[in-house]
Amino acid sequence: MTADDQARLDRRLLMLPATPKDGAMTRDVLWRAGIETEICESVRMVAAEVQRGAAAVILPEEAIGSASRVLALVIAQQAPWSDLPVLVLTRQGADSADASLAVSALGNVTLLERPLRVSTFVSTVRTALRARERQYQIRRQLEELRDADQRKDEFLATLGHELRNPLSPLLTSLELLKPSATAEPTLSRLVGVMQRQATHLVRLVDDLLEVSRITRGLIEVQRDPVELAEILAAAAETSRPVIEASEHRLIVDVPDEPLIVLGDSVRLTQVFANLLNNAAKYTDPGGTIELLVRHTRHTAFVSVRDNGIGIEREHLSSVFDMFTQVSRSDRRTQGGLGIGLTLVRSLVALHGGSVTASSEGRGRGSTFEVRLPLAVVETHPSPAPSVHKGFAGCRVLVVDDNQDATETMQTLLESLGATVAAAGNGREALAQFEAFEPNAVLLDIGMPGMDGYEVARRIRKLPAGAATPLIAVTGWGQQEDIRRCFDAGFDHHLVKPVDVDRLWELIVGGAGQTIN
């Protein structure tokens, strides 16, 4: 159905007359006032037509009764913007049982007592149609807002992806500069500053990407049995630099018995690290932060409490909304985007839990409590962390159309003992693969001409390519991209910027198929 067809349906005034004669007469009166009516033969028909679209409905009181239940149902299911006007023509003395049933069941009801002056009737119908027109305007605005919101989400995803690409060679270059900078204190300090700032940028970009994935429903969390105490220890470790920088005291009170959550350890660590970081950030130096766990048989309650600036009551619920910062002028909110708590709430919800904020008010500290369902499962011992021992003896082919990215990766791997060949596009990559015979390939996905998926497929068809580890190195880390990578024959999927220890695990340490 075209938009015009729908608009025509939406403008209809539906009428169920008491008698055919009544119908003809009323239609005539309205027609003379320039209003068209569509006659329905039963309440059931009115209900069906309302579902297709209607501006208002005229019913006689006689039609209200058990048959009107179906219409009441349709009206109850209206979209939130919709409040269909229903005009009920009553018999004299509008306090009958049917009239009050109509008022309670049919929503936006106007009772009109017969006999009725024509002018009153026409003006009431006009008012109803006008009110309906306003509702359609609101519907249009809501649709526009939804479209704009969707475009914003898509923009954030693209922005995040595009920002990641230049960050990758920047960080790798800084890593390379570090050893030669140690002899020169000023240079070493500057490299340190650049590394910290670039890492901060990576974190902001990651948050942006994450939040845009969540809003577009693209995030999936793993459901592995994980021990809560381990997650909290990892989160405390992540936040330690921020807590120590402000000389806060961190008090941890976690029960001895193992509490198992079915979840994604990386995501859950992110949740608690975010809360601890905020506690550190929004508390004046020398404060106290407490990380406490209570539990029942089925639920764990993790509280992150601080004695910092606190949150006023009216802001308590909105702090979880996207881009919300209680006081933008506060120096402390700078360096953030107001999406940390949005991420916390979404990630906790993906684990079947919830999070609440409480505070006695300004200057009285804040408490964030996360509730997570507990599982009763055996834990598996976690694998020992790998020790990075260099890439001596490895022949690595690096493929990326971004020359800075290939060059810095090549220099980094060479400085760690690998022999490296580089290619800037798909064709070169295939030629190099045969000439160089690498024992691992790092392959960018988004390249002009032949993309990384196609290169992987073609390498897999070469006699020497069947068993060579193929590692996708991309800016895109969504489930769909990862699935496409594995379908194309990749063994591993890494998101830029690549962590060199992780790369070592994959190339030298012999890890199985992984996503990172």
Site residues (vs ligand ADP, CB under 6 A): 278-279, 282, 306, 308-309, 311, 319, 324-327, 333, 336-342, 366
Nearer to ligand ADP, 238 or 324 (CB): 324
3-class SS at 221? coil
Nearer to ligand ADP, 169 or 365 (CB): 365
Nearer to ligand ADP, 49 or 207 (CB): 207
3-class SS at 17? coil
3-class SS at 474? strand
Distance in Å, CB of 318 to ligand ADP, minimum: 9
User: Cβ contacts of residue 364 below 8 Å, gap of 6+?
Assistant: 310
User: Cβ contacts of residue 476 below 8 Å, gap of 6+?
Assistant: 161, 445, 446, 495
Distance in Å, CB of 249 to ligand ADP, minimum: 15
CA distances (Å), origin 63, targets 42, 95, 206, 282: 8, 16, 60, 63
Q: Which of 81, 190, 63 is nearest to 72 (CA)?
A: 63
Distance in Å, CB of 327 to ligand ADP, minimum: 6
Residue 88 near residue 102, CB atoms below 8 Å: yes
Distance in Å, CB of 344 to ligand ADP, minimum: 7
Beta bridge partner(s), residue 124: none
DSSP type of residue 375: B
Q: Please state, in angstroms and rounded to a whole number, the distance separating the CA atoms of residues 56 and 257.
A: 64
Distance in Å, CB of 309 to ligand ADP, minimum: 5
Omega within 30 of 0 (cis) for the link into 497: yes
Nearer to ligand ADP, 68 or 342 (CB): 342
Nearer to ligand ADP, 339 or 470 (CB): 339
User: For 370-438, where are the alpha helices, taking DSSP H only?
Assistant: 403-415, 426-436
Residue 43 near residue 70, CB atoms below 8 Å: yes
CA distances (Å), origin 251, targets 243, 303, 364, 483: 11, 11, 18, 42
Q: Please state, in angstroms and rounded to a whole number, the distance separating the CA atoms of residues 476 and 212.
A: 12
Distance in Å, CB of 272 to ligand ADP, minimum: 13
Omega within 30 of 0 (cis) for the link into 115: yes
Both tokens assigned to 481: 């991209």
Nearer to ligand ADP, 336 or 509 (CB): 336
Nearer to ligand ADP, 84 or 309 (CB): 309
State the burial class of residue 397 (Cβ atoms within 10 Å of its Cβ: 0-12, 13-18, 19+).
buried
Nearer to ligand ADP, 17 or 308 (CB): 308
Distance in Å, CB of 158 to ligand ADP, minimum: 22
Distance in Å, CB of 277 to ligand ADP, minimum: 8
Tell me the residue nearest to ligand ADP as measured from the CB.
336
Nearer to ligand ADP, 136 or 301 (CB): 301
Instruction: Find how far residue 48's CA is from the centre of its chain.
Output: 37
Q: Which of 303, 286, 285 is nearest to 294 (CA)?
A: 303
Distance in Å, CB of 156 to ligand ADP, minimum: 15
Distance in Å, CB of 409 to ligand ADP, minimum: 32
Q: Please state, in angstroms and rounded to a whole number, the distance separating the CA atoms of residues 387 and 399.
A: 26
Q: Is 287 left (phi over 0), alpha (psi -120 to 50) or beta?
A: beta
* Cα radius of gyration rounded to whole Å, the chain: 32
Residue 456 near residue 490, CB atoms below 8 Å: yes
Distance in Å, CB of 367 to ligand ADP, minimum: 8
